[in-house]
Structure formats: structure tokens, C-alpha cells
Amino acid sequence: MTLKHVSPLICLEYNPKDSHILVGGSYNGQIAYWDTCKGSQPVEMSTLEHSHRDPVYKVIWLQSKTGTDTFSASTDDQPTKFMVGTEQGLMVSCNRKAKTLAKKIVCTYSGPHGPIYALQRNPFFLKNFLTVADWTARIWSEDIKESSIMWTKYHIAYLSEGSWSQVRPSVFFTIKMDGTLDIWDFLFKQNNPTLSLKVCDEALYSQYVQDNGRFMACGSQLGTATLLEISSGLCTLQRNEKALATAVKDPL
């Protein structure tokens, strides 16, 4: 099935409670919902006057009783994320409930030498977050604003995306412009990836890990999606892993 929309789609997410329902963000700023049981056309779509003014670069489902709440992010000068990465290499922590502009920006972090292409909190330790920018991936702590607490070595190929494992607190993933996927486990090895896989010959621009950590999809420059199965050792929580992960402070 091919999902159809009036504007090119930039992001798409399945509903975690109903695999027939998807939400997508489009280039014209609209949010649309699909029910694959009802066909390829959206069943609901935001009106232009109540949509983002710029492209929607990320949309996620929020945990709620109804399972229908979503959260979207765009570059239309309307902060909608608690933490965002900028083209200038800054990470900005925001308070969405603040009533004044000064209080909306809680603090900033700097370090990368280029735009932030990925920023994600560790699902096990919410004070720690991963960034992908320039030629490195870095792990930060909200409590340490001067520098990241871990970082990879500088790669020859540019990094384009990264994310945490949803089942192991010490594992994260990065993809590169040379078509390589790197899987890192900083409790096992810190200087190099635990596993490095050449997925394709063209640049990789997107990747997504299944919630149970077993499968991963990578998207390439040519529009090819590759589905990978991750070995059980990399998607099974290890003994004392949570405690050990909190104690590691050395660079990767």
C-alpha cells in the first residue's frame, strides 16, 4: 500500500497501540492520520490555518489513555520540544509550560562543530541524551553543561542520524554517509563500535529501531529501506547493566 498525501511526507510513525493507524508530518506543515484498513488516503488532516508554517520534521505518539495524542516539531518559530538541536551546534533545553520567553529556555549546551542532526534522551536515564553532529556522536548529562560526558572518535564519513536502544541503556546506533551502520555498547567497547555493518553503497539518512529492539530499518539516499535483525546479545538487557551504565564517565 502507498500512503497518499497532498504534500510530500517528511516523517511517519505507527501508533504503538494500533498498527493500522499512522501519523505523518508533511512538507507544507500539515499533520495527517491514516487508517490502513480504510485505504491509502488520510482519514483526518489538520487544516492549513491550524498547521505548522514550516515542514514538520518529527512527529511522535504520546502516552495517553486514548492513544490518540501526538507531538510534532517544526522550524516555524513555535517551540514544541523540551529539548532541540540547532544548526549552529547548540542544544537548547526548553520549558514548554513557562509563561515568559526568558523562562522557556532553561539552558543551552554547546560543543559540536556543525548542525545537530539527531538528539534523543536515553529512555532509561532521562537526564542523559545522545547527539549526532559533524563527525561524532556524543552523550551528555543535564547536570554537566561544560562538555559531553562521552564521545566517539571523529569518523571519516559524516554521521547523519543516531538513536538509543529501547531495551539496553548502554547501546546506541549511528548511521553514516558512506552507508554504514554502527552499533555501540559502551560497557563492552568504548573506542570502536561493537558492530559495524555496511548496509548499502549510498548515504544513509534515517534509521528506526523497533521498540523491542529486535529489528531496525535504515533508509538510504536512493529511497531504499533495509530491514535488519539485531542479534539477541544486543537487544537483551544484561545483568547489572543499568547500574554499570550510570557509573561510566570516560570518553568512548
Q: Cα torsion for 136, 197, 222, 171, to the nearest 10°?
A: -50
pLDDT of residue 77: 67
pLDDT of residue 211: 82
pLDDT of residue 203: 96
Residue 141 pairs in a beta bridge with 128, 144
Nearest-angstrom CA–CA distance, 46 and 51: 6
CB 164 within 8 A of CB 145: no
DSSP β-ladder status, 159-164 and 9-15: unpaired
**Three-state helix/strand/coil letters over 145-186:** CCCCCEECCCCCCCEEEEEECCCCCCEEEEEECCCEEEEEEC
Burial of 230 (0-12, 13-18, 19+ CB in 10 A): buried
pLDDT of residue 248: 65
Q: What angle do CA 247, 81, 56 make, to 5 degrees?
A: 125
Burial of 10 (0-12, 13-18, 19+ CB in 10 A): middle
Residue 74 pairs in a beta bridge with 56
Task: Walk along the chain (252 residues) in steps of 10 and give the mean pLDDT of each run.
Answer: 89 92 93 94 89 90 86 74 80 79 81 85 89 90 86 90 93 96 91 93 93 91 94 88 75 48
